[in-house]
Amino acid sequence: MRVLIGIGGGIAAYKVCEIVSSLFKAGIEIKVLLTASAEQFITPLTVATLSRHPAYTDRDFWQPIHQRPLHIELGEWADLLLIAPLTANTLGKLAHGLADNLLTNTVLASTCPVLLAPAMNTEMWEQISVQRNWQLLRQDPRYHAAGPGAGLLACDRVGMGRMAEPEEILPYIHSLLHTQGRLDLSGKRILISTGGTREFFDPVRFIGNPATGKMGLALAQAAVHRGGIVTLVHGSLPDISIDRRINLIPVVDSATMHDRMLANFPAADLVIMSAAVADVKPAHYSDRKLPKQQLPNALELSPVPDIIAALSKLRQPHQKIIGFAAQTGDIIPPALEKLERKQLDAIVANPVDIPDRGFGSDRNQAVIIKKSRNLAQPQQYEQIEIQPCAKLEMAHQILDSIY
């Protein structure tokens, strides 16, 4: 896959170095071009070294043509174009189809998706003219937006206009490379659970599991990148910058997750239950820390509500419910039994006894089991194998199988 990165003139240009380096490590071919003002903040040598490819500037653009025009070559080469930071000046040019430098000419000479990462002072961002240009540009389906976010700006102002962090931009790049900008979930409301729950038996001790929430977060990212309206009910979750379009609902225990999922279920078109919810909880809770010598030798347990079974009983004809089954050994039989017993549309069976898979890993593998679309054999099931891959890639393959 080939990503062309256009760097604009702003202090946030330094963040692009991490993006270039991360994409190269992921095996993606990168070319970088800089506007004249971008060279005031970052050098062509820096990004050329990180990308392992010469960087392009306006000096290259205005050189005599020896082969095909540079902006045509670059525009046809790219599978995706990232502009970061997107300045007010470049935004205005793109919104009105103007082209007076290498970056803007390359945009007009390309047809691939364009990911925009705006960055500017809050007063600049909130100007009526800037917002008008932003809304005009966003009407074009080629353009996708990462940020801006709010925070401390280089001008010492705290407010909107901060460029999205690399950890938010990078997943969006991978999503667009998978979908080529397809917004097939536009208007769909998607409810996802993720992370582990903690069932406390005193204020400092609990029954839990190693779930980190990475798989559910990947599903939420993939869905919102495809146009979905996403609510993520989560226990544990990675401490990273997350797309602010994702509605985050934090929970701690299974009872609270049960309540939040049921409250948001009526509005959902699709539910994906990827959370590792506890099966049992301590039967008794002490509101003070128990001294070590008072800890019971055997902990009395009681069952917790079955969230996905409760949702399945309340479902409407238009709603789809997808479950997860984290298993060891032969993962298919227990997943199939769960699919049938809880009347799910599909289930994702994934192994947790293979190194670098499942809990805590950035990678996963799975088998999707779903009801057959063959109306003559409604009780038959299809199996789709997902080979080991990044969790975001697996999330897209899951969504591909559903819609």
Q: CA–CA separation, 344 vs 321, rounded Å?
A: 6
Q: With bands split at pLDDT 50, 70 and 90, how would you rate the model's confidence at 35?
A: very high
Cα 105 versus chain centre, distance: 30
pTM, two decimal places: 0.91
Half-sphere exposure of 321 (CA within 13 A, CB side): 21
Q: What is the DSSP letter of 276?
A: B
Q: Which of 17, 112, 155, 389 is catalytic?
A: 155
Tokens 């003139």, residue located: 9
Q: With bands split at pLDDT 50, 70 and 90, how would you rate the model's confidence at 236?
A: confident
pLDDT exceeds cutoff 60 at 376: no
CB 56 within 8 A of CB 102: yes
Q: In the chain, where are the structural domains located?
A: 2-179, 189-402
pLDDT exceeds cutoff 90 at 193: yes
pLDDT exceeds cutoff 70 at 373: no
Residue 306 vs residues 309, 338, 344: alpha-carbon distances, Å = 5, 12, 13
155 is catalytic: yes
Token pair, residue 143, equals 């353009």
- CB-CB neighbours of 382 under 10 Å: 13
Q: CA–CA separation, 217 vs 232, rounded Å?
A: 8
**Strand 270-273 to 320-327 pairing:** parallel
pLDDT exceeds cutoff 80 at 310: yes
pLDDT exceeds cutoff 80 at 377: no
Residue 64 vs residues 56, 59, 68, 102, 238: alpha-carbon distances, Å = 15, 10, 10, 14, 50
Show Cβ contacts of residue 398 under 8 Å, excluding neighbours closer than 6 positions.
219, 272, 322, 348, 366, 368, 386
- Give 357-387 as a 3 state SS string: CCCCCCEEEEEEEEECCCCCCCCCEEEEEEE
Q: With bands split at pLDDT 50, 70 and 90, how would you rate the model's confidence at 185?
A: very high
Q: What is the pLDDT of residue 379?
A: 62
| pLDDT tens string 3-19 | 999 999 999 999 999 99
Q: For the structural domain made of 2-179, what CATH number should be given?
A: 3.40.50.1950
Q: Which of the following CATH numbers is that of domain 189-402: 3.40.50.10300, 3.40.50.300, 3.60.20.10, 3.40.50.620?
A: 3.40.50.10300
Same fold for the domain at 2-179 and the one at 189-402? yes
Q: With bands split at pLDDT 50, 70 and 90, how would you rate the model's confidence at 375?
A: low
Q: Quick check: helix, strand or coil at residue 281?
A: strand
Q: Give the mean pLDDT of 317-322.
A: 94
